[in-house]
């Protein structure tokens, strides 16, 4: 009984922290939750991916609500990104089944590490700032008109990676929204969460049909994640953009390193 209580508290806390990070950084939370579930609960890679996808449903919806209330979402851009992202998510979730577990986690660590390093060190931000100084671009609350094929391509690949890795796709969408469409950090987070909410349900259903789901674990984490996502999105709307950007990057980078160490058996 004691072990069950401890395990329940542990999963609730994982859900809570995942929710806070989801709401604060405009992601579904999978970028944090997938490696943590794998590292701390030692579930199989495929179940870690599928179960985390279920957690993304409530965290993305709850987090997006606060951004909508504050009008920090580019609805037009979200409508362009969401349909191809849904298609990509279903294909990505299906592809997961055919990849070796260790390879799946190593690929996850590499993608998360690259995106985390970029945001933590401000590499893309520096390039964007340089373009501003040269008068080549500026930052918008709502993205200017862009070619539809660009948004469709970004949406599809963000969705594919979301389904493949069991994440919301925010770790791809947020940098793309910042550096391709040049919208503000908060608008990027809000728009990302709205698109993630659209892809999370089909992604979860696809993983469930392949047996990549621990429903008890998912429900326990969701109980902690919903209030966490609400608090995180409120926190995000009150913090400086630079703090959010670098904080998001550091979290991603740390998780990717820890996951790679475990999967490679370094320690």
Per-residue pLDDT tens digits for 38-97: 878 888 888 888 888 888 888 778 778 878 887 878 888 888 899 999 999 999 989 988
Contact criterion met (CB below 8 Å) for 74 and 242: no
Who contacts 160 (Cβ-Cβ below 8 Å, separation ≥6)?
88, 89, 91, 92, 95
Query: Is-above-0.75 flag for pTM?
Result: no
What is the C-alpha to C-alpha distance for residues 263 and 245, in angstroms, rounded to an integer?
27
> Which is it for the CA torsion 117, 97, 167, 138, positive or negative?
positive
Who contacts 239 (Cβ-Cβ below 8 Å, separation ≥6)?
24
- Split the chain (267 residues) into runs of 10 and give each run's mean pLDDT: 67 84 67 78 85 83 79 85 92 88 84 77 58 53 67 88 77 77 79 86 89 86 84 73 71 80 72
Contact criterion met (CB below 8 Å) for 140 and 184: yes
Strand partners, 89: none
Closest CA to 181 of 147, 218, 211: 147
Number of H helices, E strands in the chain: 11, 0
Contact criterion met (CB below 8 Å) for 158 and 89: no
């Amino acid at each position: 009984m004691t072990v069950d209580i401890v395990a329940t508290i542990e999963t609730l806390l994982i859900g809570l922290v995942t929710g806070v990070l989801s709401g604060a950084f405009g992601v579904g939370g999978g970028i944090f939750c997938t490696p943590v579930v794998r590292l701390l609960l030692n579930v199989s890679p495929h179940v870690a991916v599928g179960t985390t996808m279920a957690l993304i449903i409530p965290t993305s919806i709850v987090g997006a609500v606060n951004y909508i209330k504050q009008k920090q979402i580019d609805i037009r851009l979200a409508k362009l990104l969401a349909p191809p992202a849904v298609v990509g998510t279903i294909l990505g979730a299906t592809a997961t089944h055919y990849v070796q577990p260790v390879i799946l986690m190593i690929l996850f660590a590499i993608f998360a590490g690259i995106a985390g390093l970029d945001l933590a060190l401000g590499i893309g931000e520096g390039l964007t700032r340089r373009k501003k100084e040269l008068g080549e671009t500026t930052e918008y609350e709502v993205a200017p008109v862009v070619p539809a094929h660009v948004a469709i391509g970004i949406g599809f690949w963000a969705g594919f990676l979301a389904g493949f890795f069991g994440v919301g796709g925010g770790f791809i969408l947020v940098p793309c929204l910042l550096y391709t469409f040049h919208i503000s950090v908060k608008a990027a987070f809000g728009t990302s969460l709205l698109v993630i909410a659209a892809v999370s349900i089909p992604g979860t259903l696809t993983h469930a049909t392949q047996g990549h789901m621990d429903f008890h674990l998912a429900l326990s984490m969701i109980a902690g994640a919903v209030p966490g996502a609400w608090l995180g999105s409120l926190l995000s709307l009150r913090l400086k953009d630079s703090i959010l950007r670098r904080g998001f990057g550091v979290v991603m980078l740390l998780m990717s390193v820890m996951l790679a160490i475990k999967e490679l058996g370094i320690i």
